[in-house]
Structure 1
Amino acid sequence: MSGRMELSLLMLVLVSFCEGQNWNAPDFCRNKLCPQFTAAVQHQGFEERLYVPTEWITTKIDNLKSIDLMAANSRLKRVAGDSADYWPVLITVTNGSDASLSWFVPPNTAKPEMTDPSVTLQSRPEVTVYVRVFGGTPGIDNGQENVKMLCGALQEAGKSCTDTYSFAFYGSYFSITHHNEVWFDKTQ
C-alpha cells in the first residue's frame, strides 16, 4: 500500500473516530442531545454563542397563551412522538405577536415524518446569538422580562435589539431547577 493511501485511510479512521467527540454538551442539557455551540465572548449581562447549523420541527402558535402553547406542543408530539426528548424547546417571537414552537432535531437522528401540514422541518444556518440565561419556571411572562433585560444589556454594550427573539427552555416544566435562555440573533 502506498504511503498516500495509508495516510488517507488513517485520516478517515481518525475523522470518523473524532466526529462528535470534540464537543461536550453543557450540564444544562441534562445529558440530552442539544445544539452544539461555541461560547465566543462573555459580556456584562449576556454572552455571544456561535451555533452550528441545526434542524428543528416547528409549528405556529396562534397566540402566546397557555392553551395555544399546549396545542402547539401537542401537534409537535403527534408528529415526533413521545421519544423526541431533546433540548431546548424553542419559542420564537417576531414583531411581538407572530410566534412558533420548535423542538430540536439532533444530527444523525431519523427525521419525523411530516404528517401534519402545520408542522414543518426547519433548517437553520450557522448563527451567532446573544444569550441571557435566567432561572425560574419557564413561561412567557418570565421570558418577556428577560427580553427587556437582555435588550438593555445589549444597548449598554453598543449593540441593537431586534424584533425577533427566542426563548430556549432546557428541562421539564415540573423540574425543581430550571435553565432558561433568551436569544437575539446577532445578524438581524
Structure 2
Amino acid sequence: MLKTVKQALFSTEIQTPKWTPVETPSSDYEVRQYEPAKWVSTEVTEVKDWDSAVSTCFMRLFGYIQGNNEKKVKVDMTAPVNTYTQPGAGPTCESTMTVSFYIPPEHQEDPPKPSESNVFITERPQITVYVRSFGGFTNNAKNQEQIQQLSECLKRDGKLFDENNYYTAGYDSPFKLVNRHNEVWLIAEQ
C-alpha cells in the first residue's frame, strides 16, 4: 500500500498508456494516437459538482488498485486519471462521467476483475485525440475554458472532432503544488 500511496501522492514511477504523436499544423494543441488498452473504470451521473464526482470515482478506483479485486492483488497507480464526460442534453440535465485508470502493462492481458459492481474493466480501441495541456489546479470551469479554446483552434484549422463528449486528464497528486500538468482531449473524427 505504501508504494501505491507514494505513487498517488508524489507522482513517482507512474506508467502511462502508449501513444504516438501525429504531425499537427498548430502549436496550440497536439494530436496523439493512443494504442488499444484496458482501463479500470467507474461511472457517476452528476448535475454540477464535478470535483465531488471525480473524487467519488477516484476512491472507488483506488480501492481496486489496493486489492479490492477478485485476485486480491495490488495494481500500480498509473497516469492520467482520465475522465470521459458525456454532457446532458440541456443546462440542468445530468452529465455522465466515466473516470478511469490505465491498467499497467503487466496486467493488460488479464486484469484482475473488480470486486465492486460499480467498477468495471473497459477495453478502449485505438483512438486519436486532440490534446490541449495546461498547468495549475483544475476544476470544471477551467476544463470547460480549455475545451472551448481547443474547440476554437480545431475549427479554425478545419479539423473534425466529436463536439459533444470530451476527456480530461490529470497527471498529478493533489499534494503537488507546482509544475502541475492537466489536459483536455477532443476525439478526432475521420
What interval of TM-score do these two structures reach, taking the shorter chain for normalisation? 0.7 to 0.9
Once the two structures are superposed, the pairs formed by residues 61-140 of structure 1 within 5 Å of their partners are 61-63=44-46, 65=49, 66-81=51-66, 83-96=75-88, 97-109=95-107, 111-140=111-140
Q: Computing the radius of gyration over CA atoms, which structure comes out larger, 1 or 2?
A: 1
Over residues 21-48 of structure 1, what are the superposed CA-to-partner deviations in whole Å (9 max), with x where a residue is unaligned?
xxxxxxxx86421011111123241111
- Unaligned 5+ segments in structure 1 are 1-28
1:153 Cα deviation (Å)? 0.5
SS of 2:53's partner is helix
Q: Distance in 1 between matches of 2:55 and 2:87?
A: 22
Aligned to 1:35: 17
Q: Distance in 2 between matches of 1:84 and 1:72?
A: 17
Once the two structures are superposed, the pairs formed by residues 104-183 of structure 1 within 5 Å of their partners are 104-109=102-107, 111-161=111-161, 162-175=163-176, 176-183=178-185
Q: Distance in 1 between matches of 2:138 and 2:155?
A: 25
What is the TM-score when the length of structure 2 is the normalising length?
0.76
1:53 Cα deviation (Å)? 0.8
Give the AA of the match of 1:38: T
Q: Distance in 2 between matches of 1:152 and 1:183?
A: 13
Q: Distance in 2 between matches of 1:102 and 1:34?
A: 12
Over residues 49-101 of structure 1, what are the superposed CA-to-partner deviations in whole Å (9 max), with x where a residue is unaligned?
11111111111123252222222111112222175311000011113522111
What is the TM-score when the length of structure 1 is the normalising length?
0.77
SS of 1:67's partner is helix
- Unaligned 5+ segments in structure 2 are 1-10, 67-73, 89-94
Over residues 145-166 of structure 1, what are the superposed CA-to-partner deviations in whole Å (9 max), with x where a residue is unaligned?
1000100000000123421110
CA RMSD of aligned residues (A): 2.0
**Native 8 Å contact 2:166 2:185 kept in 1:** yes
SS of 1:151's partner is helix
Aligned to 1:7: none
User: How many residues are aligned here?
Assistant: 160
Give the AA of the match of 1:33: Q
Q: Structure 1 residue runs of 4+, over 4 Å off? A: none
Q: Which has the higher contact order (CA 8 A, sep 6+)?
A: 2
Aligned to 1:6: none
Over residues 118-158 of structure 1, what are the superposed CA-to-partner deviations in whole Å (9 max), with x where a residue is unaligned?
11100101111111111111322221110001000000001
